[in-house]
A and B are shown apart, each in its own frame.
Chain A
Amino acid sequence: MDFQSCVKINREWDIVGARQIGREHAKKIGFGTVDQARIATAISELARNIYLYADTGKICFEIINEIDRKGLWILAVDNGPGIADISQVMEDGFSTSGGLGAGLPGVKRLMDQFDIISETGKGTEIRTVKWVRK
């Protein structure tokens, strides 16, 4: 693993900032344009969820450099209300804010690995990885 950098999510504009930084990382690592768009979209979803449901939090990036593969690891962390029923929020169309409910199930499909760790009253951590296709 090379480095870790984080972007704070405090204001609505930080959603745009986070996805732009994420795309730059993705480009540097060698992702193609479609995967760059997938990564930027996933970050946008995660950052917006932080902004909407937890108020503040951060998105962190880490480049994974293994002998046989490279990838981008994205971590979304907040100290918001947490998610009580994870299988429910992973359903397409489930939303408590009148949204499309496409965000979390979408991120899972946009990325290669996806995990949610959440405790009600404490916060949520979403870890996701995209691998560079050879």
Chain B
Amino acid sequence: MRIPILKLHNYLLISIQTDLDDKTAIQFQEDLLSKIHKSGATGVVIDLTSVDIIDSFIAKVLGDVVTMSDLMGAKVVLTGIQPAVAMTLIDLGIHLKDVQTALDLEQGLIKLRQELEE
């Protein structure tokens, strides 16, 4: 399983459509970083609308993706986190404090554009 990464202008767009197992999550992390490196993308939107579970491992991978992308000069916005997923993250004690979020892909792109123009 590999998660497709689309390029749109300076942005990379990812919509996660599968129940993420650990290997797929780690592969995605690697793929995204090398794509940022190759494309010089300045923004990334990861859409989680179809993700109905985020456990501590996946939360860690996503948090690391955000930090690593940031180091490489690309801002990440997570979009479409389901209400049930947001609630379980709080139960897990995971607050994703430094992570930018938006309601959906479109809002995510708007947020990126605002951030990057500042």
Contact = CB atoms under 8 A, between A and B. Distances in A.
Interface string B62-92: 0000000000000000000011110110011
B37 interface: no
B94 A100 contact: yes
Nearest to A98: B60
Contacts of A109: 91-93
B109 interface: no
B93 A102 contact: yes
A102 B59 CA distance: 10
B55 A48 contact: yes
A40 B19 CA distance: 11
Contact of A34 (B19, B22, B84): B84
B37 to A, nearest CB: 24
Interface residues of B, number: 22
B21 A15 contact: yes
B53 interface: yes
A114 B77 CA distance: 35
Given A13-B21, A16-B19, A99-B60, A44 B87 contact: no
Q: 5 nearest interchain CB pairs?
A: A106-B92, A37-B84, A102-B56, A44-B55, A34-B84
Interface of B: 19, 21-23, 52-57, 59-60, 82-85, 87-88, 91-94
24 contacts: A12-B21, A12-B22, A20-B19, A33-B84, A34-B83, A34-B88, A36-B84, A37-B87, A38-B91, A40-B52, A40-B53, A41-B54, A41-B91, A41-B92, A44-B55, A48-B22, A99-B56, A99-B57, A100-B92, A102-B92, A106-B91, A109-B91, A109-B93, A110-B88
